[in-house]
Amino acid sequence: MRVSLTRMLFRTLDDLRLFTHRVLEAPGMQTNKRFARYAWAVLAYNLLVILWGAFVRATGSGAGCGSHWPLCNGEVVPQAPEVETLIELAHRLTSGLAGVFVVILFIWAFRAFRKGHPVRRAATLSLIFIITEGLVGAGLVLFEWVADDASLGRVLSMAVHLVNTMLLLASLTLTVWWAGGGPDIDLRRRGEARWLVGIALLGMLALSSAGALTALGDTLFRPDTLAEGFRQDFSAAAHFLERLRIGHPLLAILFGVYLLFVTRHLASLRPSPAVKHFARIVLTLFVVQFLAGLLNVFLLAPVWMQLAHLLLADFLWISIVLLGASGLAVTAAEPVPEALHPQRSG
């Protein structure tokens, strides 16, 4: 089953990558292909950092450095570290490097693009969210909302952390979009499309937050069998994180119905090739993501499946952001930026 899921994932990702061969830049938009490729690399690197952060949570390694931050167990370089310490320390180092990459992105954006260009806005938002990402992560450690903690503080901070992460990915995605020649968005003249996209984005944030808390419940209250898991979910004494295992799939079904509506309606409102392609990608990813979620439940949420489920959710979010950017575009031309195909030469 793991091989089958991997094949479906890469087939979908390949579709997302290959359709960008048919590229038409928005007329008059300033582009910088080297910067766009770098922005794409930063986005990809941050996806890896996010996955490693989920691995830290799933393995209970968040307390590997104790309640110390930025030091690890009170030391710059811990002596004779345990496995959990190495996992947490690796996450801190890779996260710090992600911050450095975003700072470079920000400086380069202001040097390469003229005043008022949307790339500057997106790069600025990326810098803001990478900073808040680090602050939220530090708070989790300092308040000891890690490892086996199931407090309300950890639950709320997890939701905030997830939303901030998604906003960071959205900002980096828009940086890639605009750097490669994608047109700016027009919120004032896109009233109906604006609402459709806005609700889809908020819905995805809500679904992802519920998913993150469900994953936390799977880590803290892992059942030994599927039947035991269902008994725990419906037990009057169950922790609310356990009950989310029921609510999360139902919320996913409702969101899937809305996605089906919004992709079809947006494609009729803004019938550009980019909108139609992203609509198809969004629906395909959602189906694969939903099946992965069912498989995750059936297998009792093994770590590798949790990571695959999260990665699919991130790709779905990125695709919804790109669908929104193309649906709210200033022009009706084919605004699929060349930056979305980083392997192309330029």
Distance CA 37, CA 187 (A): 27
Distance CA 297, CA 289 (A): 13
Q: DSSP assignment, residue 183?
A: P
Those residues of the chain that have pLDDT short of 70 are 1-30, 80, 236, 331-346
Q: How high is the pLDDT of residue 331?
A: 63
Q: How high is the pLDDT of residue 78?
A: 80
Q: How many residues does this entry show for the chain?
A: 346
SS3 301: coil
Residue corresponding to tokens 């890639």: 176
The domain limits of the chain are 1-29+184-346, 32-180
Give me the amino acid identity at 293: G
Q: How high is the pLDDT of residue 151?
A: 86
Q: How high is the pLDDT of residue 23?
A: 40
Contact 249, 293 (CB under 8 A): yes
φ, ψ dihedrals at 172, nearest 5°: -65, -40
Q: How high is the pLDDT of residue 341?
A: 45
Q: How high is the pLDDT of residue 29?
A: 62
Q: How high is the pLDDT of residue 343?
A: 42
Contact 204, 48 (CB under 8 A): no
Q: How high is the pLDDT of residue 132?
A: 97
Distance CA 100, CA 245 (A): 37
Contact 50, 76 (CB under 8 A): no
Q: DSSP assignment, residue 188?
A: S
Find out whether the peptide bond into 70 is cis, omega within 30 degrees of 0: yes
Take residue 42 and report the two structure tokens written for it: 């930063």
φ, ψ dihedrals at 72, nearest 5°: -115, 110
Q: How high is the pLDDT of residue 270?
A: 86
Contact 167, 314 (CB under 8 A): no
CB atoms within 10 A of CB 346: 13
Q: How high is the pLDDT of residue 11?
A: 55
